[in-house]
Amino acid sequence: MQLFKEIVKETVFRLEMPNQKLGAPITLVTISNQNFLINCGSCDASVADHLVPALKKKKLSLSKINYLMFTDCHPECIGGAHKLKQLAPGVRILATSYQAEKLKNPVFHMIERWSDFPDWAPPLREIGGMLASNENVENKDGFECIYPIPAAGHDSSCVCWHVPSCDVLICGGALQGRGAKDHGIACYNDLTAYLETIERIGYLGSGDTGKRFPSILLCNEGIEGISGVTEGEEDCRKALKTCRSAADGYDKFLHNYMRSHGLNSEMIDYHDLVTEYFPKEKRPECLGFAMMTFKAHGRAKQNADA
pLDDT value, residue 131: 53
pLDDT at site 108: 86
The better pLDDT of the pair 296, 214 is held by: 296
Residue 46 has pLDDT above 60, yes or no: yes
Q: In whole angstroms, what is the distance from residue 197 CA to residue 160 CA?
A: 10
For residue 35, the cross-strand partners are 30
Of 95, 76, 123, 110, residue with least CA distance to 36: 95
| Residue-wise pLDDT tens digits, 225-246 | 999 999 998 999 999 999 999 9
Render pLDDT for 116-170 as a digit per residue (tens, 0 to 9).
999 999 887 655 545 543 345 666 667 889 999 999 999 999 999 999 999 999 9
What average pLDDT score do residues 85-109 get? 88
Task: Name the E strands within the chain.
Answer: 5-8, 12-15, 26-31, 34-38, 67-69, 92-95, 137-139, 147-150, 159-163, 168-172, 216-219, 229-231
Residue 27 dihedral angles phi and psi, to the nearest 5°: -110, 135
pLDDT at 134: 39
* pLDDT at residue 123, rounded to an integer: 83
Q: What is the pLDDT of residue 100?
A: 85
Q: How many CA atoms lie within 13 A of 142 on its CB side?
A: 20
What pLDDT, on a 0 to 100 scale, did the predictor assign at position 137?
60
Predicted confidence (pLDDT) at residue 105 exceeds the cutoff of 90: no
Res. 113: pLDDT tops 50: yes
HSE value, Cβ hemisphere, 13 Å, CA-based, for 280? 0
What value does the mean pLDDT take over residues 84-95?
93
Predicted pLDDT of residue 118 = 93
Q: pLDDT tens, 246-290?
A: 999 999 999 999 999 999 999 999 999 999 999 999 999 999 999
Global pTM value: 0.93
Q: Is 72 helix (H, G, I), strand (E, B) or coil?
A: coil
pLDDT recorded at residue 219: 97
For residue 290, which of 152, 197, 178 has the smallest C-alpha distance?
Answer: 178
In this prediction, residue 135 carries a pLDDT of: 46
Instruction: Convert the pLDDT of each residue in 58-76 to its tens digit.
Output: 999 999 999 999 999 999 9
Question: Residue 220 CB: number of other CB atoms within 10 A?
Answer: 25
For 161-214, write each residue's pLDDT tens digit. 999 999 999 999 999 999 998 999 999 999 999 999 999 998 875 455 455 678
Concatenated DSSP letters for 74-92?
Answer: SHHHHTTHHHHHHH-TTPE
Confidence of residue 306 (pLDDT cuts 50, 70, 90): confident
Q: In what order do the strands lie in the sheet with 147-150?
A: 147-150, 159-163, 168-172, 216-219, 229-231
CA distance 162 to 167: 7
Amino acid identity of residue 54, one-letter, is A
Summary count for the chain: helices (H), strands (E): 10, 12
182 half-sphere exposure, CB direction, 13 A CA radius: 7
Burial class (CB in 10 A: 0-12, 13-18, 19+), 248: exposed
In this prediction, residue 139 carries a pLDDT of 61
Distance in angstroms (rounded) separating the CA atoms of residues 239 and 218 = 11
If you average pLDDT over residues 83-110, what whole number do you get?
89
Rounded alpha-carbon distances, angstroms, from residue 295 to 74, 254, 265: 20, 10, 9
